[in-house]
Structure 1
Amino acid sequence: MNGIGGDDPHAAERFDEEPDKRPGRTAFQRDRARVQHSAALRRLAGKTQVVTLDEAATRQDWDAAPRTRLTHSLECAQIGRDLGTAFGCDPDVVEAACLAHDLGHPPFGHNGERVLNRVAADCGGFEGNAQSLRLLTRLEPKRLVAAEDGAPPRSFGLNLTRATLDAATKYPWPRGLHPAEPDSPKYGVYDDDLPVFDWLREGAPAGRRCFEAQVMDWSDDVAYSVHDVEDGLHAGHLDPAALLAAPERSAVLAVAARRYAPPGTAEAELAEALDRLLGQEWWPHGYDGGALAQARLKDATSQLIGRFCLAAEHATRDRFGPGPLRRYAADLVVPRGVRLECAVLKAVADVHVMQRPEHSRARGEQRALLEELSEALARRAPVGLDPQYRALFTAAPDDRAGRRVLVDQIAALTDAAARARHRLLTGG
C-alpha cells in the first residue's frame, strides 16, 4: 500500500477496467486529464467562493475579478502539486484530487449545502464531499457500459483510479461513522455509493486518510485562508489596520476559537498567531488598492503560502525522514502554530466578508430560492430536469431514489442556473 503507479498496480486499478486510448501516459495522468476536461469542473466557474459574482459586477472601481470555486480549485491544485512533489507523491494524483475536491459543492456554496441537506433528509442527506465522490464515480458522463438485460447503461463516472479517488476523499467514512466524532456532519460517501467506496478503500486503514488526501486538504486550507483574505481586501471589505483595533481583534479571535481552531484553543494563543502575521515585514499594512499596494498584497499571499507549506514540509520530514512519502507510509505534520495562523486568516474572512449585513441578507434569499426550487421540482418532475437527470428520475425505482435525483440536479446547477431554473418553474 506504500507504492504508487508502476510499483503498485493495486493503486492504479479502475473500478471498470478499460484500455488506454493513448499509450505512453500514466494512469494518473489520465485521471488528471479527465478531471480537467469534466463539465463538473467547468461549472465551478459559476459558483461563488466568497465575494459573489453579482457583487463584483456592481463594483465599478474594482478591476480584479473575484475568485470562484473554479479559480480556487486551480490555485489549490497548484499548491498541492508543488507540495506533493516535494514529498515524492505522484504529482498527477495530488493535482487531480485538488481539482476534484470541490466538484460536489452546490450553488451558493455552504449555504446551499445546508438547504440540500434538509431537502435530502429522507434519502440520506447531503454533504458536498460525498457529492464529489458521487460525481466522480457515477454522475459525470464519461464511462458508460451497456447492461446485458436491456436496462439503461451503467455509469462509472470518470472511472478514476483507486489512488486518485482515495486522494480526493477528504472524509473516508459514511455518515455517522466519523472515527473520533460520531456526531460530525462531515462524511465522504452516501449509502448508495458504498460499493465503489468499499472498492477504493480496499486495504486502507479504516477512517484514515491517505497521505495524498492530507496534502490535498492542507492545500485547500492554505489556498482559501490566504486568498479569501486577499479577495476581501480587493473588494474593500477589510482594512488591515482594523486588525490592530481591540473590537475587531476580539471578534476575529472569537470566531477563530469557535469555528476554525482545534477544540479548546485559548484566544490568547490565537492572538499570538495573529500578531505573528501582523508583525511580518511583508504584511499588507496600509492597503489602498493602488498598483504598489496590489503588488505588496500579491507578495504577501505568496509569502503566506510559502510559510504554510514549508512549515508542513519540514515538520513532516523531521518525523518521517527522507524518501518518497505516499499512500499510507506517513501522515502530514502541520505545526500547531501554523494551523492557528491559518485559522485566524479564515476567521478574518468570516468576520469581514461573510458576516456583513448585506451578505447575510443575500444568504437568506439564496436559501429561500433553493427551497422553492426543490419544491417546484418535486411537484413537476421530470419537467424542469436536464435530460441526464430526467432519464435517471424516470428510471428511479422508488420515491427515495427519485428524491436523490432531484438533489443531484440542483447540486449540479451554477448560481445563475439555479436562479434561471427557479424563474422558469415558479414564475418568480
Structure 2
Amino acid sequence: MTDAPSGGPTAGAHDPRTARRVPEALDAYQQRERNPEYRVDVERIRFSPYYSRLSAVTQVIAQAGAGLAVHNRLTHSVKVAAVARGIAVQLANGEHAALVDRLGGCDPVVVQAAAAAHDLGHPPFGHLGEQTLDRLAKDRFGLREGFEGNAQTFRIITRLDEYDRAGAGLNLTAAVRAAVLKYPWLRGEGDDWFGRDEAPRGITPASPGTGAYKFSAFALDVHEMHEARAAYPEIAPLQQTVECSVMDIADDIAYSLHDLDDFYRAGLLNQSTISAEFRAWRRERAELHAAEQGDLVLSQRAPGRALELLWRRLAAKDPWIADEDAFADAVARVNDEVIDGLLAVPFDGSMLTERTLSQFTAAWIARLQHSIAVTATPPIRSGHVSLDRTAWHEVAVLKFLHQRFILERPDLALYQRGQASVLERLVDGFAAWLDDPRDVRRAPRRLLDLVDLAAEDYARVRREAPELADASDGAELRRRATGRGIVDYVASLTDAQAMHIDALINGSPERLWDAGQGL
C-alpha cells in the first residue's frame, strides 16, 4: 500500500487541520515532500529533548531487566508509531475511506506524529510517578487539577517545549495537536458524569467531586484544546478524532504485547501459576458466573476468580461490545498461544527463543492491526475507529496478564513506594528552595522559567476564564504557579536524573558534578 493524500473534505491550502498557532512558511525542500506540514511536525517531536528523555524512562521494569533490551517509553513510542501507521494506511485506502474523509481524515504521518508525542508527559517512574505527582500537586500546592500524564503531554507540545519562538510551543498543526487529545476534556468536567450508567471512557471520577479520572488538557491550556478541536466540526465534543483513535488503539496493541515481551524475557511470568488461573476459570465457568460478587472479591487470589472479576468489569462498563462467548474465546486463544505456547518454553536468551518471541509478537500485531471497525455513530465509550469485538476481548485478556501477575506483585509495590518517596523529596526540596529569598536566585534556571510560564498562564486564565482559575488573588496565584512550575520541572526528569538530583538536594552525592547533570 502507498500513503493516501491528507484526508478531509477541505484538504489543501486552506485545510484547517494544517493550521499552526503561528503561521510559518515551508522552505523549498519541505514543499517537495508529501504532506510537508505533518512531516515537519514529526521531526519537531522527534528532535525534542522531551522525546529523547523517554529513552531513560522505564515502562514497568528497569532497562537491565533481561535479554537484549527491555522496552522504555521511547522504544514503546517508536513501536506505537509503526502500528498506528499501518492502521492509518489501511483506513485511508480501505472500504471506509469515504467515511474517514468526512470525519476529518486519517493521515498516516499525523498518526505517526501523535504516536511519537503520546508519552511525552510521562514523569519519572511511569504510572507510579504520575499518581505521586498528582497527589503532591493537590496536597502541597492546592492545584485542583493535580497532575495527569496526558494533559502534561499536551502542555509540553503547546507550551513548555519551544521550537524557535517564545510562547508558541512546538507550533504544531491542529491535526497533530488534536490527535494527542485522547481524553478531550478538563478534569473538572468529569464531576457531571459521576454515577451515570454510560460515560466516555476515562471521564468518570473515582469519587464524587474529584473530577475526571483521565483528561488531556489543564485549564491553563484549554484555549489550545478548543483551537485544535475546531478543525474537526464533524467530531462530537467528547469524541476523539479519527487519527487520535488510531493512535490510541495502536498504544493498546503495543502495550499489551510489548510488556508481555519484557516480562517473558525477565522470567517474571510463572507459566504454572497463570495456567492454573485460566484452567480454573474454564473448568468452573458456570459456578463462577453464579457466585456472589462479594465472595469473588474475598477469594480473588484463588485460581479463576480474578478472570471472572475481569469479565464482570468488562460486562458492566462496556455492554456495547462485551460478549460472554467472545470473552471465553479470547481466554482460550490466550491460553493456547501465550500460556501453553510461548510461556511453555522459558526464555533463555538463545537465538531460538528470540526468534520464537519475534514471530509470536509479529503475528499478533499483524492480526490486531487488521481487526479494526469504523462507525459513523460510535457508542459513548468508543471512538469512530475501534478494535472489533474479537480483538477487543483479546487485548483485554492480554492486559489482564500484566495487571494480575506483574503489577500486583508485592516486590514491585515495595520498589515503587521507594520511587514515590524520591519524588516527594524532590518536590519538597524545590519548594523549600524557591521559598528561600536568600538563595532562590541560584535555583535551576529552567525551574524558574517554568514557574514564570505558569504564572503567565494562570494570570491569563483568571482574565479570560475566571471560572477555571485556581487562584483568587495575586499571592495565591503565585503559590499555584510555583507548584505547577515545580511539577512541570520534576515531571521532565528521567528516572536517573530524579535519583541523582534527589541525592544532590539531600546532600549525599559522592561526585557532585556527575550527579548534578540535568539541572
Q: Same fold (TM over 0.5)?
A: yes
Pair 1:250 & 2:304 matched: yes
Give 1:161 deviation, angstroms: 0.2
Aligned with 1:228 (options 249, 253, 259): 259
Give 1:402 deviation, angstroms: 1.5
Pair 1:201 & 2:222 matched: no
Give 1:391 deviation, angstroms: 2.5
Aligned with 1:67 (options 71, 77, 83): 71
Pair 1:157 & 2:169 matched: yes
Pair 1:288 & 2:346 matched: yes
Pair 1:306 & 2:373 matched: no
CA offsets 1:46-99 (integer angstroms, 9 cap, x no match): 11112223x52xxxxx33211000000000000001111111121110000001
Aligned with 2:317 (options 251, 263, 267): 263
- Say if 1:38 and 1:140, in contact at 8 Å, map to a contact too: yes
Deviates more, 1:79-88 or 1:171-180: 171-180
CA offsets 1:162-181 (integer angstroms, 9 cap, x no match): 01111111111111324724
**C-alpha distance 213-234 of structure 1, shift in aligned 2 (>3 A):** same
Aligned with 1:167 (options 179, 194, 202): 179
Give 1:125 deviation, angstroms: 1.1
Q: For 2:123, what is the secondary structure of its paired residue?
A: coil
Aligned with 1:32 (options 25, 33, 42): 42
Q: Give me the whole-angstrom Cα distance separating, in 2, the residues matched to 1:110 and 1:283.
A: 30
Q: For 1:348, what is the secondary structure of its paired residue?
A: helix
Pair 1:185 & 2:213 matched: yes
CA RMSD, 1 decimal: 2.6
CA offsets 1:133-189 (integer angstroms, 9 cap, x no match): 000000012132xxxxxxxxx421111000111111111111132472442310111
- The residue type equivalent to 2:494 in the other structure is T
CA offsets 1:77-128 (integer angstroms, 9 cap, x no match): 0000111111112111000000100100100111011111112222231110
Aligned with 1:77 (options 75, 81, 86): 81
Other-structure match for 2:110:
93
Structure 2: which 5+ residue stretches go unaligned?
A: 1-6, 93-105, 194-198, 206-211, 278-300, 377-382, 435-439, 456-476, 509-519
Other-structure match for 2:492:
412
Pair 1:355 & 2:386 matched: no
Pair 1:365 & 2:371 matched: no
Structure 1: which 5+ residue stretches go unaligned?
A: 57-61, 145-153, 321-329
Higher RCO structure (Cα 8 Å, ≥6 apart): 1
TM-score (structure 1 length as normaliser): 0.86
Q: Give me the whole-angstrom Cα distance separating, in 1, the residues matched to 2:316 and 2:346.
A: 34
Aligned with 1:42 (options 52, 64, 81): 52
Give 1:280 deviation, angstroms: 4.2
Q: Identity of aligned pairs, percent?
A: 32
Aligned with 2:447 (options 389, 402, 411): 389
CA offsets 1:239-280 (integer angstroms, 9 cap, x no match): 345432137863652574487786276888644412123334
Q: Give me the whole-angstrom Cα distance separating, in 2, the residues matched to 1:226 and 1:106.
A: 22
TM-score (structure 2 length as normaliser): 0.72
- Say if 2:111 and 2:176, in contact at 8 Å, map to a contact too: yes
Q: For 1:11, what is the secondary structure of its paired residue?
A: helix
Q: Give me the whole-angstrom Cα distance separating, in 2, the residues matched to 1:182 and 1:222.
A: 24
**Paired residues, number:** 400
**C-alpha distance 189-64 of structure 1, shift in aligned 2 (>3 A):** same
Q: Give me the whole-angstrom Cα distance separating, in 2, the residues matched to 1:372 and 1:268.
A: 50
**C-alpha distance 6-221 of structure 1, shift in aligned 2 (>3 A):** same
Bigger CA radius of gyration: 2
Q: Give me the whole-angstrom Cα distance separating, in 1, the residues matched to 2:312 and 2:451.
A: 41
